Amino acid sequence: MTEAGGHVPSAASGRQVPAAVDLIRAKRDNVPLSGHEIDWVIGAYLRGEVAEEQMSALLMAIYFRGLDPAELRAWTRAMIDSGERLDLSGVGLPTVDKHSTGGVGDKVSLILAPLVAACGAAVPQLSGRGLGHTGGTLDKLEAIRGWRAALSNDEMLAVLRQAGCVICAAGAGLAPADRRLYALRDVTGTVESIPLIASSIMSKKIAEGTGALVLDVKVGSGAFMRREEDARLLAQTMVALGTESGVRTTALLTRMDTPLGRAVGNAIEVEESVATLAGYGPSDLVEVVLALAREMLRLVGIDADPQEALADGRALARYREMISAQGGDPDAPLAVAPHIRTVPAPAEGWLGRLDARAVGNAAWRLGAGRARKEDPVSAAAGVLCLAKPGDWVHEEEPLLELRADDESRFDAALAALGDAFEISQDRPALPAPVIDQIGPAGG
């Protein structure tokens, strides 16, 4: 490619096989890679023909140089083609999914999937686990006795047909290249790359086979993207990838400076989700859920009011059916932490700020999260936000309730909270949780 002798002829194909070091040099020097080169390097990496250190170097070059639109399309396609594609055509209903970029107290999927199903769509949601300060949908649902995240493709389709929604782990056959590459990015400091994030998310969602997709791109201190301009670019990039692949895709930018809802943890977020499905949810959580539900229904052409399905019990019934179909007992009692400690307000006034990342880190230190993907999590641990920004609090009134299986965890959680909240004598202005909608044209 860039140097004589860099390509090795392939007798079988008549095409030249690239050398990994040449692709690294090209990307380092900002020379675009061809679709053939990208197909080869991802395939060769999975076959063990490209060493870990070589792929690490290529990822770092991409981190600094980026991928142009043609490269990004080819990179995403190669990851999709590394595995199987699910066929949801036999479900018999329009299919639509939602993906969140992750946040603190983000239990939206537990409410949204059954809500949209209650309105007439099928929702095949492949979800993940939490890492660090962000919670994972599968970790939350595994707080329910008997519930199973690992379903075969046939089991997933059976639950989808029965309940109209399914939330489960992605199978090993779905975009396996992404699984390998993400693990490598995690240990090489290359996670925070917009094209690599976009291709990672969208390769799995496109391979999933859904007809439409709404992206919930979080913005703020507790989000992966703290700056709105970065979140907007990520949203635009993912929307373009989905649209180009034939998946009707839009995105909502939503705020994540404050925990969503009041519960941060696994069992307590399940409890709050059920309360929301029963009509007793906190206003910020309900607003985000309804905005996403309306967008999902719009994309698949269903004229239904999700607020009615939330109010009349249909969404809760779908939730219970989904949990039961995946082996869970929706009536089983949830784990309760044996140790509780409250954090008091230092003064009287308006709660002006409650930092999402600090609360998420505290929940992690209490045992609700993990530092590595293989670490266990506690179902009962977490943080309950007894007050939210805009609430008037009295001095020494409890602001947060910390819950843990092991009381020795409280000191680390309190240290993680730091200056997570501010008390003000001026009533704070509370911005709307939904910032913007990003359509296929990037508007």
Q: What is the pLDDT of residue 2?
A: 37
- For the record, the structure tokens of 14 come out as 């008549």
Q: Per-residue pLDDT tens for 85-124?
A: 999 988 999 999 999 999 999 999 999 999 999 999 999 9
Cβ atoms 213, 247 nearer than 8 A: yes
Instruction: Compute the distance between CA of residue 315 and CA of residue 331 in angstroms, rounded to an integer.
Output: 16
Catalytic residue positions, numbered = 99, 178, 185, 200, 204
Q: Has residue 32 got a pLDDT over 80?
A: yes
Query: How far is residue 337's CA from residue 267's CA, in Å, rounded to a whole number?
Result: 10
Query: Phi and psi for 163 in degrees, rounded to 5?
Result: -100, -15
In angstroms, rounded to a whole number, what is the distance separating the alpha carbons of residues 78 and 83? Answer: 9
Q: What is the dihedral of CA 116, 91, 249, 165, to 10 degrees?
A: 30
Q: What is the mean pLDDT of the chain?
A: 92
Report the pLDDT averaged over residues 6-15.
40
- What are 209-240's pLDDT values in tens digits? 999 999 999 999 999 899 999 999 999 999 99
Instruction: Kindly provide the b/e burial profile for residues 120-131, where b requires at least 16 CB atoms within 10 angstroms of the residue's own CB.
Output: ebbbbbbbbbbb
4 pLDDT band, cuts 50/70/90, is: very low
pTM of the predicted protein model: 0.93
Cβ–Cβ < 8 Å for 356, 383: no
Q: Kindly state the average pLDDT of the residues 16-34.
A: 91
Q: What is the pLDDT of residue 441?
A: 62
Question: Strand 421-424's sheet: what is its strand order?
Answer: 392-393, 349-354, 421-424
All domains of the chain in start order, with CATH: 8-65 (1.20.970), 89-332 (3.40.1030.10), 339-424 (3.90.1170.30)
